[in-house]
């Protein structure tokens, strides 16, 4: 399919998802990068308690809380 045909389908609000190879899709700026952070024991215990209470992993709660704080700072 030519790009002009693809663009026309998109512009006409047609569903183009079947025409895309989503297995190669990436979100720029959302790539994962591993970091290591050392926390005091009391903080790990508090994180684990809260994570268990919410039914999520320690990593998840850290990510959510950091994202919330960064969103507050960007306002």
Q: What pLDDT was estimated at residue 41?
A: 98
Q: What pLDDT was estimated at residue 65?
A: 96
Q: What pLDDT was estimated at residue 26?
A: 87
Q: What pLDDT was estimated at residue 1?
A: 85
CB atoms within 10 A of CB 32: 4
pLDDT digits (tens, 9 = 90+) for 2-52: 999 999 999 999 999 988 888 888 888 888 899 999 999 999 999 999 999
Instruction: For the chain, give every domain's residue range.
Output: 3-73
Q: What pLDDT was estimated at residue 15?
A: 93
Single out the residue of 45, 47, 40, 41 nearest to residue 66, CA to CA.
47
Within 8 A by CB and 6+ apart from 17, the residues are none
CB atoms within 10 A of CB 50: 13
């Amino acid at each position: 399919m030519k790009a002009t045909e693809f663009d026309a389908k998109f512009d006409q609000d047609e569903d183009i998802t079947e025409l895309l190879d989503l297995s190669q899709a990436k979100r720029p700026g959302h790539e994962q990068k591993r970091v290591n952070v050392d926390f005091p024991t009391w903080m790990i215990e508090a994180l684990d308690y809260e994570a268990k209470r919410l039914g999520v992993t320690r990593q998840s709660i850290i990510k959510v809380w950091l994202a919330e704080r960064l969103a507050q700072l960007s306002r």
